[in-house]
Structure 1
Amino acid sequence: MPVKKTNTIRHVLTQLIADVFEKSENKPLNYKQVAALMNLQDAESKAGILEILDEESDSKTGRFVRIAKGKFTLRELKTFIVGRVDMTADGSAYIIPEDELQEDIYVAPRKLRNALNKDTVKVYTYEKSRGRKKEGEVVEIIKRDRTDFTGILQVSSRFAFLIADDRKMIHDIFVPLADLNGAKNGEKVVVSITDWPEGSKNPVGRVKYVLGKQGENNAEMNAILADFGFPLSFPKVVETESEAIPEEISETEIAKRRDFRPITTFTIDPVDAKDFDDAISFQKLDNGHYQIGIHIADVSHYVLPDSALDSEAFERGTSIYLVDRVIPMLPERLSNNLCSLRPNEDKLCFSAVFELDDKAQVQDEWFGRTIIHSDKRFSYEEAQEVIENKEGPYSDELLTLNKLAYILRERKFKNGAISFESTEVKFILDDEGKPLGVYTKERKDAHKLIEDFMLLANRKVAEFIGKQGRGKNKLTFVYRNHDAPNEESLTNFAQFAARFGYKISTKSEKETAKSLNHLMQSVEGTKEQNVLTTLAIRSMAKAIYTTKKHNHYGLAFDYYTHFTSPIRRYPDVMVHRLLQHYLDGGNSVSQEAYEKLCVHASAMEKKAADAERTSIKYKQAEFLQNQVGTAYTGIISGVTEWGMYVEIEENKCEGMVRLRDITDDFYALDEKNYAIIGQRKNKKYQLGDEVKIKVKSVNLAKRQIDFTLLS
């Protein structure tokens, strides 16, 4: 029966046509194809469909778009989108859609429906009445990013509130007096949201942890961990599992492994390290070559899939390195005892063993499980002393390893690797964790030697798996991927570096790498080193874990993974398991399942880095707290629409000069040129400029340092 296009059924027919496009995933269709999919074959119905498609596509607000002669698609497939909340200071938010091709959606405060920063939400979208910007309202909170918040507790006779540290948490949390968990007024605590009654402005919560007094080192460091969602202790079941693991290594286990105990082996680590997850063995062979073993703690022997230990390690993703402490991924019994490659003890390892000639070319390779016995534990300083003086314990081995490492390093840079030697800031702390001084850590040959052999192991393990199979027969593996930099970011950086007289060539990836390396060598020790290195790193893509094989741009390796630190990185545990699985002849595992694990690992890595930076910011603020009024020389390290960041040359502490405090003119941001410019006198402050500043104020609770300019 033909369908006549009448006003009463036009809306229904339009919706049925739209349904056809949705079911075909918005594939371009002509009116005949639409009719066929609706099982309408008569001419009158087809004419009605064509008329609707024509009329709706001619209207700016119509449902369909004509993309070619006779071909149509839906104007917008969805009026609902799923995305992440990015809260602003005024209580409104932008929703960042999961689909990166869609634009951000503005949501007014009254339409957020109790959604909080970083929550995943479903939003109904509509066109703004004036202008083109999309607006929307939250219709569902799909997933809370967090329910735990740190802050200061305010207690009265009838109720209590948490004032959150997070500036994007715009609601105080109501805490009934019965749920204070012993917390007192003014203390720093962690509160968990337990309810948010409909129509109530404030959520309700209970005190989960009492962290201590505001300003106490332990309280503040634990607050940073809690703020980023890291647990403050291991669950009891995890500790129980770790304590139950036997310390003795059975003869049966030893028999399964290649025995390296008779071969000279040592570790080189920071002087205060307790978790030694890598060791190097050295043996000169009869043919004049060298057998170098890179031995890595066999964490996967102790941490078994689906155990509580494994689940906890996966959730944490990584160890976290704050200014004054390490929060390990694994309980101390494993990280500092069973798995730590301590001297004069038999230890189980997963090893990458290479036969190298005098030119550091790999002549043979072997991967598998081993048992080792470390002869000595070197600190970096002790190993460096042996290298420099050419004498001391294992001097022949260290000097040969250093010579080979130099060749590996030189070859890496010749192939296009980039050397980023940014300044690492360290604090001298008293017994209570208060900063007494700041210094920068220098990387010498001993550090680089270990790094170059770890890079060799990571690269060769990735190559070994990555080169097996083709197409559908490729083996799923966990790679460390680093994409080439975005062209626009690189061009902007090149223009900025030119201000200091450095030329960056962007003709090819190899030319770019070569000129970046020349820049890094040239800036070493200069006042602009930190600014230029930081900006260069920002212009690079971020390294991630993925099952999709890409080259590693920064290292100029075709294949790369993380194999060498399973005590502190969960991806390395995955790599060990997969490597053993494939050595045993196992079939390829699910790429989709492992890609999800990689996404989580990358997210936790970023979170840990952010927590580390926050702890540094806190210690910088604490260090300058008693320096209010002190003058320093600094470098402009960042510019924003509300001020400029300045890094003090002497101690690398960073603070802000706010535009409102520069009173000789009205200044505005020139984003393209990384500058703020006076509107009347045209005075310019640009990234990298040297300025004289004075410490104006320090807000320890907000980890903020404010400077004023000195003329």
Structure 2
Amino acid sequence: MAKKKKDNNRTSSSQKKTFRGTIEVTRSGMAFVIVPTLAKDILVKQKNLHSALDGDEVTVDVIKQAKNLGRMEGVITEVITRKKSEFTGTLQVSKSFAFLIPEKGSFLPDIYIPAGAMKGGKDGDKAVVKIVNWGEKSKKPVGEVVEILDATNSADLAMKEILIDSGFPLSFPTEVIKETSDLKDIIQASEIRKRKDCRKWLTFTIDPVDAKDFDDAISYRKLKNGNHEFGVHIADVSHYVVPGTELDKEAEKRATSVYLPDRVNPMLPEKISNELCSLRPHEDKLTFSAIFEMNDKAEIVSYWIGRTVIHSKHRFTYEEVQEIIETGEGPYDKEVLLLNKIARILRKNRFDEGAINFSSQEVRFQLDETGKPIGIIIKESKEAHQLIEEFMLLANRTVAEYVANVRVNKHEVPFPYRVHDTPDEEKLNVFSVFARKFGYKLNLSTPETVATSFNELLTAARGTPAQHVLETLGIRTMAKAEYTTDNIGHYGLGFAYYCHFTSPIRRYPDVMVHRILQECLDGNVKPDKQLEKRCKHSSEMERKAMEAERAANKYKQVEYMQQFIGDTFEGVISGVAHFGFWVETVDTKCEGLVGMHNLATKDDFIYNEHEYALVGQNTGKTYRIGEKVTIRVVAANLLKRQLDYDLIEDDTTTSSSSPRATARPSNGDRPKKARAPREKGPAKSGPAPKKRAKKTK
């Protein structure tokens, strides 16, 4: 009998099968082991989980074989890799030891904490505990207190619990801090001699007003032949974060920074992200650069990629650059206007070549000094943002294409591409039928015609009542972008080659890209056999970061809307299900549920998934995604992070005077900036939006 691969399937002489996979635990406590080579996941009952937790990489022995194409059942025999090691809960303290009692529904046993590992924790304290030992002989996990949480600050506690629950530690291990503190602040002359010296070039950064981690800069030089030279300079994190160090292991484990409304949970310690690698003005900095020679038509004549040293002359905010674009005046105005001219051409070319021009809205909270939301504003993308975006996209695309053409023993170099698959065919067909009701026809013949007709639809719908619903549902037909060594191109951007090169301070895949890119430049490629596994981990952590950001935003929405219980607002139906529909308020962008119980008095409604609507069986009344409605806020539950709305009939309310939200363009997979605030602290904005009507008594 042929020997099976260890990571897929192992068969003993007694025909007992052992598989390796990732475990998913459901809310009921039932679990499933996902094995890539199996069509169906392996069922594991709670009693057979042993110490395995959600997300762990495990081995599982099959104890019941599949019958009639049913599902196999198994028992966990080993936890290979823990997905998460820190947990929150309540301390139960005795004289010489304590237990952390986890939150209900976590299916985690109480964690034993020895007396010397309590860090002063008292009975009843909320705490973060790290599991340090959970061997085969130990029925209970053993842990140590990482942090005592302030239970009096419920919002701060909620944000920390969201991060911990998503698998992101709140602090860095001692070894990581030690390694970071040992990093030298001074750049050695010997290091500068190894690099292209760009310090005399005009170089500047463009970032949000509250940013401190400047991870990219732009340079410009006019060449003697009349062409232009533009440099995209990226913080050289890989110079400081070396493979095999504790710092690198921690960065890979986290894989991404997480941006919540009132804080950032960084991938790298502050000394690296805000000091050593931040491209601050008037300081020499080590960078990895892509430098382009272009003509006036933004056509690339040649390019160079390699390690550099730069010296930023100026730090711009987006607002300052936008003012220069609009007025034609300001520091380095000629250079800024030229950069914007080139960016406009690059942007137009990108859409002409098949990129999809979706627009979206991004919400940002205005916070007081305690982190409490006092207003909600809509982030608007203007030409200053698009200027940076186009040059970052160009650098990402160029680096990916360069590596894709490198061969080692006639083989392609394993590389962490950023890919985006074509739309789901079934979802696309449903959307096409729906769009036709608004007078728009999609050409579904090929992926190229789909992209073209999508753009035509979005252009035609812009400014019409149908815009919001068509954009929302159109985005839902799209696949999720991910990291992988299997390059299938990036459909949303219209690129055959794409990677993430421009944000290594906050994304681990960019660090991997820098390392492999340097190996290619040196002609000394050492293929990483674990690269695809690292890519999958980065994709998974990106997903968890997005879920954490959504959960935190939802918490802040509920926290903000608590003051408006009983008030009425204009809203738009943003989602429909068999148990009701969700409504997003126009002026605050806060989403809540109108439950079926609220509609029961009006008619018997049935969910029609092809119409994205609830349809009344007696009256024919429909509630369809994208339609305007008026709602009353009836409940705001912080614990559940849930808003409940009641539907108000049109003839019982007056029109709202609240301002409409401003749409901002989005282009699929943004290379940077399209995210929550980088640094901890309140967002700066105008006054909070006004409520629509007085409270109903």
Q: TM-score, normalised by structure 1?
A: 0.81
Q: Which moved more, 1:258-267 or 1:516-525?
A: 516-525
> Does residue 710 of structure 1 match 2:663?
no
* Corresponding letter in the other structure for 1:491: N
Q: Distance in 2 between matches of 1:673 and 1:86?
A: 32
* Secondary structure of 1:673's aligned partner: coil
CA distance in 2, matches of 1:396, 1:439: 32
Cα distance in 1 for partners of 2:21, 2:644 equals 35
150-159 or 320-329, which deviates more: 150-159
1:344 counterpart residue number: 282
Rounded Cα–Cα distance in structure 2 between residues aligned with 1:678 and 1:110: 45
Match of 2:416 in 1: 478
Per-residue Cα deviation, 1:461-482 (whole angstroms, up to 9, x for no partner): 1111212338843223222111
Counterpart of 2:40, as a letter, is: E
8 A contact 1:186–1:213 mirrored in 2: no
Alpha carbons of 1:115 and 1:574: their partners in 2 closer, same or farther (altered >3 Å)? closer
Amino acid corresponding to residue 444 of structure 1 in structure 2:
K
Distance 2:625 2:189 in 1: 63
Q: 1:111 to 1:542 in 2, by over 3 A?
A: same
Equivalent positions of 1:223-622 (< 5 A) are: 223-469=161-407, 472-524=410-462, 529=467, 531-586=469-524, 588-622=525-559
Q: Specify the code of the residue in structure 2 equivalent to 1:265.
A: T
Query: What is the CA–CA distance in structure 1 between the aligned matches of 2:55 and 2:244, rounded to whole Å?
Result: 29
The SS at the match of 1:574 is: helix
- Quick one: distance in 2 between partners of 1:560 and 1:690? 39
Provide, for residues 93-117 of structure 1, a one-character-per-residue CA deviation record: whole Å limited to 9, x for no partner. Answer: 3525313652345556566567544
2:156 equivalent to 1:218 = yes
8 Å CA contact 1:264–1:283 kept in 2: the answer is yes
CA 1:224/1:564 → structure 2, altered by over 3 Å: closer, same or farther? same
Distance 1:468 1:172 in 2: 51
* Length, aligned pairs only: 636
Determine which structure has more spread, i.e. the larger CA radius of gyration: 1
Q: After superposition, what is the alpha-carbon deviation per residue over 1:149-190, rounded to whole angstroms, capped at 9, x for unaligned?
A: 33456889999886755x752567476896865445665433
* Contact persistence 1:175–1:207 (CA under 8 A): no
Deviation per CA, 1:650-703: give whole Å up to 9, x if none: 111112222234332444433343333445555432222322221121111221
2:106 maps to 169
- Show structure 2 runs of 5+ residues with no match: 6-14, 650-697
Which amino acid in structure 1 is aligned with residue 481 of structure 2?
Answer: A
Give the match's secondary structure for 2:360: coil
Partners in 2 of 1:680 and 1:174 — Cα distance?
56
Conservation of the 8 A alpha-carbon contact between 1:547 and 1:595? yes
Deviations 1:396-425 (CA, angstroms, capped at 9, x unpaired): 111111111111111111110112321010
Q: Deviations over 1:564-614 (max 9, x none)?
A: 11111111112112222221221x322532222222222222222221111
Q: Is 1:138 matched up with 2:75?
A: yes
Distance 1:86 1:635, change over 3 A: farther
**1:617 maps to amino acid:** K
Q: Distance in 2 between matches of 1:658 and 1:23?
A: 55
1:145-156 alignment runs, 5 A limit: 145-151=83-89
- CA separation of 1:529/1:229 partners in 2, compared to 1, >3 Å: closer, same or farther? farther
In the superposition, relative to structure 1, how do residues 478 and 528 fare at CA in structure 2: closer, same or farther (>3 Å)?
A: same
1:354 CA displacement? 0.7
SS at match of 1:408: helix
Measure the CA separation in 2 of the matches of 1:679 and 1:23.
60
Shift of 1:516: 1.9
1:10-89 mapped onto 2 (5 Å cutoff): 83-89=21-27
Q: 8 Å contact 1:211–1:223 — kept in the other structure?
A: no
Q: Which residue of 2 aligns with 1:630?
A: 567
Structure 1 pair 298–606 and aligned structure 2 pair: CA distance change class (3 A): same
Normalized per residue, which structure has more helix? Answer: 1
In structure 1, give the amino acid aligned to 2:404. G
Q: What do residues 332-386 of structure 1 show as CA deviations (whole Å, max 9, x unaligned)?
A: 1111111111111121211111100011110011111212111110000000000
Change (3 A) 1:272 1:120: same
Query: What amino acid does structure 1 have at the position aligned with 2:205?
Result: T
Query: How far apart are residue 236 of structure 1 and its match?
Result: 2.4
The Cα of 1:454 is off from its aligned counterpart by 0.8
1:328 counterpart letter in structure 2? P
Cα gap change, 1:539 to 1:155, in 2 (>3 Å) = farther
The amino acid that maps onto 2:354 is: G
Relative to structure 1, the CA distance from residue 168 to residue 483 in structure 2 (aligned partners, 3 Å threshold; closer, same or farther) is farther
Say whether the 8 Å CA contact 1:127–1:135 is kept in structure 2: yes
Distance 1:691 1:681, change over 3 A: same
Contact 1:92 1:107 in 2 (8 A): no
Distance 2:597 2:139 in 1: 33
Counterpart of 2:583 (choices 641, 646, 665) is 646
Shift of the 155–366 alpha-carbon distance from structure 1 to 2, 3 Å rule, reads same
Query: What secondary structure is seen at the aligned counterpart in 2 of 1:329?
Result: coil
The answer (yes or no) to whether the contact 2:298–2:345 under 8 Å persists in 1 is yes
Q: Distance in 2 between matches of 1:478 and 1:86?
A: 25
**Relative contact order (alpha carbons < 8 A, sep ≥ 6): 1 or 2 greater?**
2
The CA deviation string for residues 272-307 of structure 1, in whole angstroms up to 9 with x for no partner, is 110111111111112221011111111122222222
SS of alignment partner, residue 407 of structure 2: coil
Of 104-113 and 292-301, more deviation after overlay is shown by 104-113
Please give the secondary structure, in 2, of the residue aligned with 1:476.
coil
Mark the runs of 5 or more structure 1 residues left unpaired by the alignment.
Answer: 1-19, 26-76
CA RMSD of aligned residues (A): 3.3
Name the residue aligned to 2:667: none
Task: Quote the offset at 1:437 in angstroms.
Answer: 0.6
- Provide closer, same or farther for how the CA distance between residues 554 and 128 of structure 1 changes in structure 2, counting only shifts above 3 A: closer
* Rounded Cα–Cα distance in structure 2 between residues aligned with 1:128 and 1:709: 48
Letter in 1 for 2:571: G
Contact 1:161/1:172 (<8 A) preserved: no
Aligned equivalents of 1:684, 1:242: Cα separation in 2:
59
Deviation at 1:388, TM superposition (A): 0.6
- Please state if 1:676 is matched with 2:617: no
What percentage of aligned pairs have identical amino acids? Answer: 49
Q: Which moved more, 1:524-533 or 1:320-329?
A: 524-533
Q: Deviations over 1:201-220 (max 9, x none)?
A: 99887654322116533322
Deviates more, 1:600-609 or 1:188-197: 188-197
The structure-2 alpha-carbon separation of the partners of 1:546 and 1:346, relative to structure 1 and needing over 3 Å to count, comes to same
CA contact (8 A) 1:95 1:106 kept: yes
Code of the residue aligned with 1:646 in structure 2: it is V
Aligned to 1:65: none
Cα–Cα, structure 1 residues 123 and 503, in superposed 2: closer, same or farther, change >3 Å? farther
Whole-angstrom distance in 2 between the partners of 1:429 and 1:326:
15
Give distance in 1, aligned partners of 2:511 and 2:40: 38
CA 1:112/1:708 → structure 2, altered by over 3 Å: closer, same or farther?
farther
Shift of 1:432: 0.4
